[in-house]
Amino acid sequence: MISNANTKTIQDSDNEIVPEEINKFRYKDLKINEYSYLFNNSTTEDLLKIAYALKTKHKSKKIITYSRKVFINIINLCKDICSYCTYRKEPEEIGISLLSPEQILSIVEVGRKFRCTEALFVAGERPESKYNEAKEWLKKYGYVSTAEYIRDVSEKVLKKTGLLPHSNIGNMTKKEMSLLKETNVSLGLMLESASERLSNVGMAHENAPSKHPKVRIKTIENAGELKIPLTTGLLIGIGETLEETIVSLLTLKKLNQKYGHIQEIIIQNFSPKINTKMANFLPPTHKFFLKVVALSRIILPEMNIQVPPNLTPNIYGNYLDAGINDWGGISPVTIDHVNPEHAWPKISEVEKTTRDKGLTLRPRLPIYPEFIFSDKRYLSKEIEQYVMDLIDSDGLVKKRYLG
């Protein structure tokens, strides 16, 4: 059994002070109970020291990235009902979104004027399988599936604006993902949790079969087999135990060791929403969540790890101490349609928060540099030139593009 972290330090090759325990985490995979022991028996300060040291060893020492995006809410009908979600709408509800190609291009064009480089397409889980309204909407434009529609809309966006599509539309078949790879630089699918228990009666995913971990893991594996850069992550505080969170992180680690395609992991804190079954469910405390973020870095030392800054305003700078190296997508144009009650901080504010920690904020594309320059051909030939036109030698957005 590993003892809890202490504050003894050594000098590494770059003359930076790091906790002595760092070598244990760099070369050894711990067991679930050992990670749990470390979490429960370490002070927050000590856990953060280890995480920050690991981030410094494996990621850029000074640069923190984000993706400047425009958020396009394609269709928010969804066949699932998650107990915490307000994104999903019924056909008769105010706020339903069924965007035409012209509306999408109009939104993206505004994003282009604000120097966005990412067009984030979000949709509910297979709405056409449940709603005639969704079927008719797709039929109107000559499609039978949301994936087909987004594939072609993505191509229009690429050719007319140069923004890079990144789609998060739920589980897909391998054929659908292969289709989207033609016009998307990356895809997104949150695992949320590897706990099958959360699909039981009375739990968060009781009425959301697509959130069952076996289904989600299959889609993540499909992306790996197709060499699609994937953004995934966990939602913390929806009824899972600490041990289940550790299992979820280890599950993603194992998948990435096999395929190498997970480009970033989002660690997102649950935020209760009115008019949901979990409206009175307590969110994780900041201290607990901060330690989970740190533990994520310890389990996944080489991974790009991000926390959305809009879900914990005023205190999100603390996550830099916990070893994150990215803020995720931030939009200067559109709201966060999944969490509309949480406004994005201004990019200038995020830049100052990052600078106050002695770090530098740089915009990236919705595909990370290591995947752009990889010899595994993560980019389709149709997209490659669009990407190369936007980046500098580090694979980040050219400064001159931002004006």
Q: Look at residue 167 and tell me whether its pLDDT is greater than 70.
A: yes
* Cα(358)–Cα(16) distance, integer angstroms: 14
> CA-to-CA distance for 297 and 324, rounded, in angstroms?
7
pLDDT at position 27 over 90:
no
Single-letter residue type at 164? L
Where along the chain do its domains lie?
9-56, 63-402
Do you know the residue count of the chain? 403
- Rounded to 5°, angle at Cα 127 from 121 and 130: 175
Task: Share the mean pLDDT of the chain.
Answer: 92
pLDDT for position 380: 87
Residue 10: pLDDT over 60: no
| Residue 21 reports pLDDT greater than 60 | no
- Residue 60: both structure tokens together: 């850029």
Stretch 146-167: mean pLDDT: 98
Mean pLDDT of 361-366: 98
- Is the Cβ–Cβ distance between 13 and 41 less than 8 Å? no
Q: What is the pLDDT of residue 382?
A: 84
pLDDT at 403: 60
Give the model's confidence band at 6: pLDDT under 50 very low, under 70 low, under 90 confident, else very high. Answer: very low
Instruction: Calculate mean pLDDT across residues 11-28.
Output: 46
Q: Tell me, what's the pLDDT at 280?
A: 95
Q: pLDDT tens-digit profile of 144-154?
A: 999 999 999 99
pLDDT recorded at residue 25: 53
Cα angle value 191/180/135 (rounded, 5°): 90
182 has pLDDT over 80: yes
Could you count the other beta carbons within 10 Å of the beta carbon of residue 214?
9
What distance in Å separates the CA atoms of residue 193 and residue 239, rounded to the nearest whole number?
A: 10
Check residue 83 and give its pLDDT: 97
- What pLDDT does 7 receive? 26
Reported as a single tens digit per residue, the pLDDT across 280-317 is 999 999 999 999 999 999 999 999 999 999 999 999 99
- Identify which has the larger pLDDT, 19 or 60: 60
- Cβ atoms of residues 192 and 234 within 8 Å: yes
Q: Please state the rounded mean pLDDT for residues 84-96.
A: 95
Q: Determine the pLDDT at residue 225.
A: 98
Q: Does 3.40.630.10 match the CATH number of domain 63-402?
A: no
Nearest to 301 by CA among 256, 268, 261: 256
Residue 12 has pLDDT above 80, yes or no: no
Task: Give the pLDDT of residue 23.
Answer: 55
At 11, the pLDDT band (50, 70, 90 cuts) reads very low
Note whether 327 and 118 are within 8 A (CB).
Answer: no
**Model confidence, pTM:** 0.92
What does the pLDDT look like over 253-283, one tens digit per residue? 999 999 999 999 999 999 999 999 999 999 9
Per-residue model confidence as pLDDT tens digits over 42-79: 999 999 999 999 999 999 999 999 999 999 999 999 99
Parallel, antiparallel, or unpaired for β 17-19 and 9-11?
Answer: antiparallel
Measured torsion, CA atoms of residues 49, 52, 56, 60, in degrees rounded to the nearest 10: -160
The token pair at 29 is: 């995979």
pLDDT of 102-117, one tens digit each? 999 999 999 999 999 9
Whether 386 shows a pLDDT value over 50: the answer reads yes
